[in-house]
Every structure is written in C-alpha cells, then in structure tokens.
C-alpha cells in the first residue's frame, strides 16, 4: 500500500509560490490551520485562493490574506474579513465573487471533466460581466467555466491510513468536489484510524484521489468571538423559551 501519512515538512515541500490552491474554509473555521501556519512560516506567496469565504482575521485563509500572501481569491463571501475588503478596494487583492451554488458546480465541473455549467444565477448582475450568455428554451443562461487547482488543502474529521476521508456534519462543505478538481490533494486530519475502521457509509472522499495525509498535532482553534456570541444568544433565547 502506498504511504500517505506525511510530516508537515513533507507536505509543505509540495506547496509553492504562485500556486492555485483550494481551501476548506468557512469563515475561518474548518481550515487546514496547521498547514496554513506552515505556509506562513515558509513564506509562500502569490497564491490564487479558491474558497467559499476569505476567512476572518486570525482564522483560516484570513491569516494568509493578513500576511499579504494571496494575490487573488475566487469566493462567495468576504464580508467577515475586513482585511480582504480593504485590500480589494485598495487594488491589492483581486476578488472574483461567485454565487455559492455556482461555486460548487464550477468545482464539480472541474473535477468531472465537464466543459462548464449553465445557470441563470447572476444574469443582470456584475456576475455576468465578461461571460458568455446562451439562450435555451427562451431563457438566458451564463456559461460558467470549470474551476481546477494545483492543490486542494482539505480538513478531514477522520481518515484511515489508506486515505479515505470522512467530514463531520457541515465540515463536508464541497470538499469532496475539491478533492476531484485538484492535481494534488492534501488532507489535514483530526483523527487517523487503521484501514477497515472507517465505516464505508461514512466515506465522503475515496482513497485513490487523496495524495497526502497530515495528522494535526494541536487542538482545534477556539471559536471566533463573533460566532461564540451568536451561539450564546441562541442558547439564551432557547433557555428563555423553555
């Protein structure tokens, strides 16, 4: 069986300046934090990032943005990252906004060898600028081109030593699509188990498409205060209504 568990140094050796990298990042949570730490220490720069959001200050992809390591980002949301907003308006960060459903479908198209996807989403908005518009059955559609990357940096809740990945609940995001749409797939893993211990029904990404596993050394980063305050408010309201 091919060895798939690697050290952080071995993983970082595959990450270079100027690469196009997909990140499992949802507002800074669920990112491959320790690999991102290593990227910053290594000095990786000029990244084109593909992620659902641009993270938050001090969290996930947001840390690379703060360090001015990202030159372009293709994303659905940067609203919780004031650094990204400021860099965009200053002309230091090139941002392509992609509706979230279209974001997932373009990555899926890249992973499955499709020439693109047709969607009405974005017609009549800035999203359609520079894109081909097609007419089908009396309706306008945008031709959205597939997205691929040099590297996908995933965050798996659990993996076995063969490379099969499991994502817990919303950690799933569209990481399975990303795994199919990158030349090199690296997963930062919270828990590593032996082959056969991972329930086949819980496998979201199969081993053959995963190239490298890195087992996290530290604990999960604390939740961002904005999210913690929101959760506290919800719990307080539920307690009052009980």
C-beta neighbour count of 170 within 10 angstroms = 9
d(CA 42, CA 27): 24
pLDDT mean over 128-133: 93
Q: Is 157 helix (H, G, I), strand (E, B) or coil?
A: coil
d(CA 113, CA 67): 34
Q: What is the pLDDT of residue 25?
A: 82
Kind and range of the H or E run holding 11:
helix 8-12
Q: What is the pLDDT of residue 34?
A: 96
Q: Give 16-48 pLDDT, tens digit per residue.
A: 999 999 999 877 778 999 999 999 999 999 999
**What share of the chain in percent tops pLDDT 90?**
77
pLDDT mean over 172-177: 88
Distance of CA 25 to the CA centre of its chain: 4
Cα–Cα separations (whole angstroms), residue 22 to 142, 174, 194 = 23, 11, 27
Domains of the chain: 8-97+148-241 (3.40.1080.10)
How would you classify residue 127: left for phi > 0, otherwise alpha for psi between -120 and 50, otherwise beta?
A: alpha
Q: Are 166 and 198 in contact (CB under 8 A)?
A: yes
Answer yes or no: is pLDDT of 118 > 70. Answer: yes
Q: Are 113 and 72 in contact (CB under 8 A)?
A: no
- For residue 112, give both structure tokens: 């499955």
Answer yes or no: is pLDDT of 185 > 60. Answer: yes
Kind and range of the H or E run holding 155:
strand 149-156
d(CA 165, CA 154): 10
- For residue 150, give both structure tokens: 């040099």
Average pLDDT score over the chain: 91
C-beta neighbour count of 134 within 10 angstroms = 11
Q: Give 199-240 pLDDT, tens digit per residue.
A: 888 899 999 999 999 999 975 545 556 556 666 777 777 778
Taking alpha carbons only, the member of 146, 190, 149 closest to residue 16 is: 149
């Amino acid at each position: 069986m091919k060895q798939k568990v690697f050290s952080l140094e071995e993983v970082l050796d595959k990450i270079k300046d100027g690469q196009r990298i997909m990140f499992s990042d949802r507002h800074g949570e669920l990112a491959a934090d320790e690999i991102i730490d290593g990227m910053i220490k290594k000095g990786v720069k000029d990244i084109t990032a593909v992620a659902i959001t641009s993270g938050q200050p001090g969290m996930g992809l947001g840390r690379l943005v703060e360090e001015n390591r990202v030159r372009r980002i293709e994303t659905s949301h940067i609203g919780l990252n004031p650094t990204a907003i400021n860099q965009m308006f200053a002309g230091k960060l090139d941002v392509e906004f992609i509706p979230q459903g279209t974001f997932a479908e373009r990555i899926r198209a890249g992973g499955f060898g499709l020439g693109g996807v047709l969607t009405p989403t974005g017609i009549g908005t800035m999203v359609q600028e520079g894109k081909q518009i097609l007419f089908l059955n009396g309706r306008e559609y945008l031709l959205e081109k597939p997205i691929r990357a040099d590297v996908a940096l995933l965050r798996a809740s659990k993996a076995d030593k063969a490379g099969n990945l499991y994502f817990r609940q919303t950690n799933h995001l569209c990481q399975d699509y990303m795994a199919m749409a990158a030349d090199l797939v690296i997963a930062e893993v919270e828990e590593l188990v032996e082959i056969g211990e991972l329930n086949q029904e819980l496998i979201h990404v199969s081993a053959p498409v995963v190239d490298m596993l890195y087992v996290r050394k530290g604990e999960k980063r604390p939740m961002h205060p904005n999210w913690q305050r929101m959760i506290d408010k919800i719990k307080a309201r539920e307690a009052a209504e009980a």
